[in-house]
Amino acid sequence: MTKEDWKKRLALYDELISNTPEIERKGKTMPYTSENTYMFSLLNKDGEIGIRLSKELRQEYADELGEEIYKSYGAVMKDYVLVPEAVLENPEKFSFYLRKSRDYVSSLEPQPRKK
């Protein structure tokens, strides 16, 4: 992925998140969203967007859209799925999954803060 292509994908990620005003995009070099000490969406260096879903919702997601694991910097991201182009082209559907993702991490026990 070229630097210009990545910038276009970042602009798309920002636009999609802006459609869900209660969620804020964070990170300068690794764009992500977080809640309750957990990241729940991110844009990797390859321009792929992943979202974190509960086991149940991952199954529904897989049934509807097919499930692909999501990797960032070569590591498989636990509970994350790759967001396909069909969802990226549908802001309402992306917002639906983004909100469900935030709800999921909000239900988890917060991680202890590092000292």
What is the 3-class SS of the chain, one letter each residue? CCHHHHHHHHHHHHHHHHCCCCCCCECCCCCEEEECCEEEEEECCCCCEEEECCHHHHHHHHHHHCCCEEEECCEEEEEEEECCHHHHCCHHHHHHHHHHHHHHHHCCCCCCCCC
Give domain status of residue 79, yes or no: yes
Amino acid at 53: L
pTM of the predicted model, to two decimals? Answer: 0.91
Give domain status of residue 69, yes or no: yes
| Total domains in the fold of the chain | 1
* Other beta carbons within 10 Å of 13: 22
Give domain status of residue 114, yes or no: no
pLDDT in tens, 9-42: 999 999 999 999 999 999 988 999 999 999 999 9
Q: What is the CATH number of the domain that holds 69?
A: 3.30.1460.30
Domain that holds residue 76: 3-106
Give domain status of residue 82, yes or no: yes
Give domain status of residue 97, yes or no: yes
pLDDT in tens, 67-90: 788 999 889 999 999 999 999 999
- Choose between 115 and 94: higher pLDDT: 94
Q: Which two tokens stand for residue 24?
A: 């804020």
State the average pLDDT for the chain: 93
